[in-house]
Structure 1
Amino acid sequence: MSKNQKNEANDIRMGIIYPHSAGIDVGSMNMMVSYQGLHGGSQVKEYGSYTQELHDLAQDLKESGVTHVAMEATGVYWMAVYEVLEQYDLQVTLVNARHYKNTAGQKTDVSDSQWIHQLHAHGLFRASHIADESYRELRCYIHERGIFQKQKSDTLNRMQKVLTQMNIKYQHLLSDIEGVIGMQILERIATGQNHAETILANLKLRQLKTSREDLLKSLTGIYKPHLVSVLNHHLEAYKFYKDQMLSYEKEIENLLKKMLPEETAIPVKSSKVRKNQYHFNLKDYLHHLVGIDLTEIDGLDENTVLTIIAITGLNMEKWPTAEHFASWLNLAARPKISGGKVLGHQKRFTKNPATQAFRMAAQTMWQNKGILGHLYRRLSASKGSKKAIKAVARRLAVIFYNMVKKKMKYDPKIVALDQEQLRARKIARLQKEAEKMGCTLHIKVA
């Protein structure tokens, strides 16, 4: 049998799904591409990473009849390649590097591209979720705003450290140093005022729980010039980070306006803005965008919902069922089964921001008085807080999926626990314990 006949036999046996496909090994400065040529046979070609060279790559694939392309998600280098290939209407599959293994032998860029090409041709890859362009832009703005929020918080901690070095204690008397009074005092200290009476002059202290006398004592410190100078620099950095957060909020609001119909009218936010919250009416934007109010779900506020939507988008058809959605979020158990027995469960780790948002929402359920709060406390008492957080986060993800896909309102009765089933389990457990003690349990129906 000739070599071509062997390849044809292998193709029939393996079943080629995408005959006009290509595989790309993405690098920082070069791209190694393996694709099916017009005259048959696999070809390997190297391209640079400059924008014009990426367009040349896409044009060559298009002229060769390639319709499906697979490439590995390598850092952030894949993003530019994905953007260019998307412009040429090529079906791009982004692959998690953990989902495939290379063949034994020498590992090179050429062999990697050929292996990716071969696996993709047989349809053995599972595509990573990539949201639409508008949601990718939204995710970028939210991510950058989050970075400045963290830097603002770190700067605030450094300012409190400087205050401690100056033996100023007022930050321990106020519930929030970022409040109006707290920042006014901080600005006066940073400008060089070092007398307690002068610092507190003309400030409205009636709303504070602490007394004026205690504040005067706390502001009597060691005002060294170099520490005051450092505090002033930290305060300027704090204001800069806060202004940057507001700038990104404007970008987010403008993008949300573009995603809504032009005739949609969103009222101005009238309530007081809490710390790190958005200064525009985000809840109404999300309500009009999704069609339902997702903030009715226990534990999900508008910030959390916006973070999740920026990652997942609103097209839930990408996940056939809620179970697929929970598994993609790494919130579903994956048992390891061998010989018909469960040997354990796979431990998977993910940096998916949507997963972290659901887990953070589940972590707040310990004091919730609703059904999800009852579920969290019950699981936490029996299985520990880690498993309780994951279980409740999965429940929240399922509710989110069904509400977005079916456009159904939140109904706590749907997520209610089967009380009869729980009662039957408790009775069965008590009967088993009674039998071990040689007793008989008589159940009296109330």
Structure 2
Amino acid sequence: MVFNTPLRFTATERFLRYVIIDTQSDPLSPTCPSTDKQKDLGRLLVKELLEIGIIDAHLDEHGYVYATIPANTAKADVPVICFCSHMDTSPDCSGRDVKPIIHQNYTGADLVLPDDTTQVLRMKDHPDLKNQIGNDIITASGTTLLGADNKAGVAEIMDACYQLINHLEIKHGVIKILFTPDEEIGRGVDKADVAKISAFACYTIDGESAGNMENETFSADGAKLIINGISAHPGFAKGKMESAIKIAGLIIAALPHELSPEGTEGMQGFVHPVDVSGHVETATIDFIIRDFEEEQLVVHADVIRTAAEGVLQNFSNSTYTLDVKPQYRNMKNILAQHPQIVANGMEAIKRAGMEPKLCSIRGGTDGSRLSFMGLPTPNIFAGEHAFHGKEEWVSVQDMHKAVETILHLCMVWEEGSIT
């Protein structure tokens, strides 16, 4: 579709405003949101949505932003769809005092980040840069992450809202907007009100390369291994002490490399120790277990048990317990029941001038859990790259393509309804 007047994109200017707000989440905090500073961005988004003309925009006590764009079509049966991105940034790298830089007309040369010149974006390390020649690349200055994950998605949805209000030729049904806190620590939809959203389908805008759409995630469990050793005075410990700390180290060392994150790729799952704590008498290892096939999670948990039991054969007085709890499941199981949701997303990407590519995520998104909460939610690209690190980047042009994709998706759903 050719719009009545050219789109005046606002995603970049919005993105530059959003990334300077520190919204890092905290996995050790029991509150929701885990950090109150996430609400700083939420309040700004509500203010901007109200200024656009979306009158019901609001921030709730848990840090979620909700808004509704009314339908502008005469068709009465257009399904309600929702667009979702998360406001928090990863705890893995500082998000404080972010200084975004626009590197205009990228030539393919190395991008040296000025505040830490050891941080260099090289095409060999970031293969998608080969698709960005002539584009404008946004990075941070070298001492922080950028926050493109997922403030690029936030900015793109906000820009799409602006375009929908100002381009009435874009016919659409009711559009819901959801911005979440704490996605990076696995709590992004803990208190999301799916009934308030009341949509048939949702799309997270939180993916990588332009043109990509993701309909499959890992299934995920968490596991806690507790080792009960034998403590004794170290001066008189011979033949008595069985150190839980050393047992923990031996168990970790016994895990197969080919089942580790650093030893797997593609559709392979893994077992990953993410935290170790304790003392001589008791030690704890926290694991994350991931696989695209849910039944393999049980197999992977047995790998931990086998490692523990093998090591403990040499420590006859020590014991262990393993507690495995589900975290999220592969959203493909739900999306397969509603094929038009993914099909419409692929069509929108195509109409925005790209070759759509259906991918799997070696991870999870808010969409993983939303899908199992009754809101089927695949993931569409936002253009973000090198997540959670100082070399994170996004291109201006990819953000514009994401905005166009959102707009076309609204129209595809409207066109598919019955007059």
Name the structure with the higher helix share: 1
In the superposition, the TM-score normalised over structure 2's length comes to 0.23
TM-score (norm 1): 0.22
The answer to which structure, 1 or 2, has the higher relative contact order (CA under 8 A, 6+ apart) is 2
User: Could you say which structure has the larger radius of gyration?
Assistant: 1
Higher strand share: 2
